[in-house]
């Protein structure tokens, strides 16, 4: 998969809803009902971070849920890419980008939302063909004002801000013309997942799916 094809696919995924839930799942038996609640709430694109032993089994379970698009987050190495793709991930997300990671995603045909935090990093990815990227860590890197400033000379690049994004500040990102969506963990807090509070998670997802972006 070329970077251009990957970017087209990711733009379509990011256009599905204003929020991509960032999921840290400890128990894979929760995967299916969690995905069903989020999808029912209007958030079809799901990022499962590879931070727990249950992550790959979670991706496998969520890949079978109708209406969803499951991705693997925290991709660091080429091996992460291969195992995530084999588990059923349809896209990947990384905190940064290395040549090895980008090559692995291109070889495996896994669209990658690669992380950038500066104009130079964004330009390097764009030069390779990636015109939609993850802005990370969003709040620590300057928040919406920084992304607005980066976007002014680089209008060709779209971003999905992640890292410190919450209901309180999501709107400040989504009103930017270079932000089709944000990534956030607030729609599936661990306490609600632990007690299988699927109705509450679906309600949070509905609120998130109603967030308004740039017109």
**Which CA distances in Å does 172 have to 15, 168, 182, 191, 205?**
17, 9, 10, 27, 19
Options 47, 85, 106, 202, the catalytic residue: 47
Q: Domain count for the chain, please give it.
A: 1
* Burial letters 174-194, b for 16+ CB under 10 A, else e: bebebbbbbbbbbbbeeebbe
What integer pLDDT is reported at residue 215 of this predicted model? 40
Token match 């980066």: residue?
Answer: 150
In a domain, 215, yes or no: no
* Angstrom distance (rounded) from CA 39 to CA 205: 8
Residue 122 lies in a domain: yes
Whether residue 134 lies in the annotated active site: yes
> Residue 119's beta-bridge partner residues?
none
Of the listed 36, 85, 106, 134, which one is catalytic?
134
Q: Which residues contact 64 (CB under 8 A, 6 or more apart)?
A: 32, 88
Judge whether residue 182 has pLDDT over 50: yes
What is the pLDDT, as a whole number, of residue 214? 46
pLDDT tens digits for 40-81?
999 999 999 999 999 999 999 999 999 999 999 999 999 999
- Residue 141: Cβ-neighbour burial (10 angstroms; 0-12, 13-18, 19+): middle
CB atoms within 10 A of CB 100: 12
What ranges in the chain are assigned the alpha helix state H? Answer: 3-14, 31-40, 55-62, 78-87, 99-108, 119-128, 143-151, 170-174, 190-194, 198-209
Query: Residue 90: inside a domain, yes or no?
Result: yes
| Angle separating helix axes 31-40 and 55-62, nearest 10 degrees | 50
Q: Are 161 and 183 contacting, i.e. CB atoms less than 8 angstroms apart?
A: yes
214 within domain boundaries: no
Check which CATH number belongs to the domain holding 173 and give it.
3.20.20.70
Q: Which domain holds residue 105?
A: 3-209
Predicted local distance difference test score (pLDDT) of residue 213? 64
How do residues 93-152 score in pLDDT, each as one tens digit? Answer: 999 999 999 999 999 999 999 999 999 999 999 999 999 999 999 999 999 999 999 999
Does residue 33 lie in a domain region? yes
Work out the angle between the directed axes of helices 55-62 and 78-87 (0-180°, nearest 10). 40
Per-residue pLDDT, averaged over 174-192, amounts to: 97
């Amino acid at each position: 998969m070329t970077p251009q094809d990957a970017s087209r696919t990711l733009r379509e995924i990011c256009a599905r809803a204003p929020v991509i839930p960032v999921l840290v799942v400890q128990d894979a038996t929760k995967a299916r009902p969690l995905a069903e609640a989020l999808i029912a709430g209007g958030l079809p694109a799901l990022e499962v971070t590879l931070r727990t032993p249950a992550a790959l089994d979670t991706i496998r379970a969520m890949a079978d849920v109708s209406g969803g698009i499951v991705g693997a987050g925290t991709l660091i190495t080429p091996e992460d890419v291969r195992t995530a793709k084999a588990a059923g991930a349809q896209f990947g997300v990384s905190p940064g980008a290395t040549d090895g990671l980008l090559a692995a995603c291109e070889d495996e045909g896994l669209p990658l939302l690669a992380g950038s935090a500066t104009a130079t990093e964004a330009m390097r990815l764009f030069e390779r063909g990636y015109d939609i990227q993850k802005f990370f860590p969003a709040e620590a890197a300057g928040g919406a004002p920084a992304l607005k400033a980066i976007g002014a000379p680089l209008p060709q690049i779209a971003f999905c801000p992640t890292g410190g994004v919450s209901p309180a500040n999501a709107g400040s990102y989504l009103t930017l013309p270079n932000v089709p969506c944000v990534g956030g963990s607030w729609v599936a807090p661990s306490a609600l997942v632990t007690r299988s509070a699927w109705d509450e998670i679906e309600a949070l997802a509905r609120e998130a799916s109603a967030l308004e972006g740039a017109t």
